[in-house]
Chains A and B, each alone.
Chain A
Amino acid sequence: AQTVTQSQPEMSVQEAETVTLSCTYDTSESDYYLFWYKQPPSRQMILVIRQEAYKQQNATENRFSVNFQKAAKSFSLKISDSQLGDAAMYFCAYRSPFNAGNMLTFGGGTRLMVKP
């Protein structure tokens, strides 16, 4: 079974600065997708960015970008120009065609605090 590990329970960043959240995963599969979800205090799970494993180019979405290292099984999220609204729990997730229901397997989350 796949596992997803987020080694940073909490992170803090100053407004307007850059922060990187770490994620590693364990899999023997070659075809899969990786996601970062944001969960603000409202509890709504919001997709931030996704990466297809067969694409070498790192995904970017405005201020959010990833550093995908397939051989190292690493998938970190970089948030540039941090804003107060970025404060939330961030979950890294893995999905492949070989899991039940192609389910998302989540890491334990990283709480990001943004200081004004």
Chain B
Amino acid sequence: NAGVTQTPKFQVLKTGQSMTLQCAQDMNHNSMYWYRQDPGMGLRLIYYSASEGTTDKGEVPNGYNVSRLNKREFSLRLESAAPSQTSVYFCASSQGLSPKNIQYFGAGTRLSVL
């Protein structure tokens, strides 16, 4: 019962470096999401994918790109990391975009940008 799997769990980057956060779900969900959580705050939506082949901006998309590789996988890329992107990143998935659908979360990736 893997659910939503994120890799890596931890990462340290230098300013200007790039990296891709990976996310995969095995629940055959149509919709996937990337959130960030800053200290003492709730999660904020970065990007989402309503279904395979579509992606859209959320609340805080600047500095990020995403790819919905297939129905299972949704990656988040930082092209040129900045200290302001130090955060914990969560991937989530749900059956669809409808608010009644529960979002299931991965365990998060803790990213530090020095």
Contacts and interface: CB of A to CB of B under 8 A. Distances in A.
Contacts, number: 69
Given A43-B108, A103-B33, 13 more contacts: A33-B99, A42-B107, A44-B105, A44-B107, A44-B108, A91-B42, A96-B99, A100-B57, A100-B59, A101-B45, A102-B97, A102-B99, A107-B42
Interface size class of A (residues with CB under 8 A): 20 to 34
Interface of B: 31, 33, 35, 40-45, 48, 50, 56-59, 88, 90, 92, 97-100, 102-108, 110
A45 B57 CA distance: 22
Given A44-B105, A96-B99, A109 B45 contact: no
A64 interface: no
Interface of A: 4, 32-33, 37, 42-47, 50, 52, 91, 93, 95-97, 100-109
Contact of B45 (A33, A97, A100): A100
Residue of A32, A37, A44, A109 with highest tally of chain B CB at under 10 A: A44
Main secondary structure, interface of A, reads: mixed
B105 A45 contact: yes
